[in-house]
Homo-oligomer: A and B are copies of this chain.
Amino acid sequence: MKKIGILTSGGDAPGMNAAIRAITKSAMHYGIQAIGIRDGFEGLMKGRFVNMKYTDVDNIIQRGGTILGSARCPEFKNAEARKSAVANVKEAGIDGLVVIGGDGSFRGANVLAKEVDIPVIGLPGTIDNDLYGTDSTIGYDTALNTIVEAVDKIRDTATSHKRVFLVEVMGRDSGFLALNSAIASGAESVLIPETITDIEAIAAQIKSQNKGRRSSIIIVAEGDEEGGAMEIMAKLRPHLENFKLRTTILGHIQRGGVPSYFDRALATRSGIMAVELLMAGKTEKMVGVKADELITVDLKDAIEKKAIPKVEREELLAKLLTK
């Protein structure tokens, strides 16, 4: 193993830089040159490669986003278009690749592994936590902390003004962020795509609990089948005429920010392992974590199987309501 390529792809996630740093530094430790590929698969196709130096990754462990850049790259699904990527990888002498991203990124990685015939390792870098086979993806913990901190602020206003706030969080297909941030922020209710949303039941619950309460927070996953926070508010309004309803859509602040302890440690450990897996000739594996130990999962499984949040935790919120 002489040259390891690194690319970040899909939505950026806090901890991606910590992973890039760990891969670059541990590659140097083993006498391997790390090659940074700019802007994800797009950079692969256009040959935007840089030899990573020590100073490139110095002091980036604490920075959000990705210094390599990321991009959505639909062209990469096209076999003809991928030929330039294959040629670039060969010409650069890259003989191992680490792809940091979500399932879409892994799909691209897997195809490439076969076409160039080099080993490929995936690191799960996404705030959504929707990857099969790992307790946690890189970026998920930071996003949860960002959401919980934001809801704390909204609670101040909600309580001061006796309001019901609907807070929309990310999660187009998945309720991981919504469900777990709801528990940690002391929310009164949560709406996720994985369970059926019953507008009347939520209204009834708000009504019953608000006797002695000054505020309620309802966390809404953007992908809930009844709609986002604005739509849910419109549906709730006829049932809650005497309540002051408000919405906030947290939006892009959920992606960025200084990564948390957990995401930095996970990214660092996973990055080193990725290099060592490549050196050991492993390929098409994702590095995951279970009970604080790193594990490997077949990339195929990470792509094909779906991670499901523990939906039964929704019931916890009901046990914490008081009338």
Contacts and interface: CB of A to CB of B under 8 A. Distances in A.
Interface of A: 8, 11-12, 14, 18, 21-22, 25-26, 28-29, 39, 54-55, 59, 61-66, 69-71, 135-136, 141, 144-150, 152-157, 159-162, 165, 180-181, 183-186, 212, 214, 246-253, 255-258, 260-262, 264-265, 268-269, 272, 290-292, 310, 313, 316, 318-322
11 contacts: A25-B319, A29-B318, A39-B162, A63-B156, A152-B258, A153-B257, A181-B261, A184-B261, A184-B268, A249-B249, A291-B291
A265 B183 contact: yes
Report how many copies the assembly holds. 4
A262 B152 CA distance: 15
Contacts of A25: 319-322
A188 B69 CA distance: 20
Contacts of A66: 160
Given A54-B212, A272-B320, A152 B62 contact: yes
A261 B144 contact: yes
Given A66-B160, A184-B265, A186-B61, A29 B253 contact: no
Contacts of A64: 152-153, 156-157
A71 B156 contact: no
Nearest to A254: B153
Given A54-B322, A61-B185, A156 B257 contact: yes
A145 B261 contact: yes
Nearest to A136: B292
Given A261-B141, A291-B135, A153 B320 contact: no
B253 A12 contact: no
Contacts of A22: 320
A111 to B, nearest CB: 23
Contacts of A146: 153
Contact of A184 (B147, B148, B185, B264): B264
Given A25-B320, A69-B214, A156-B255, 16 more contacts: A21-B320, A25-B319, A39-B162, A59-B159, A62-B155, A64-B152, A64-B157, A148-B261, A156-B257, A157-B256, A181-B261, A184-B268, A246-B252, A248-B251, A248-B252, A272-B319
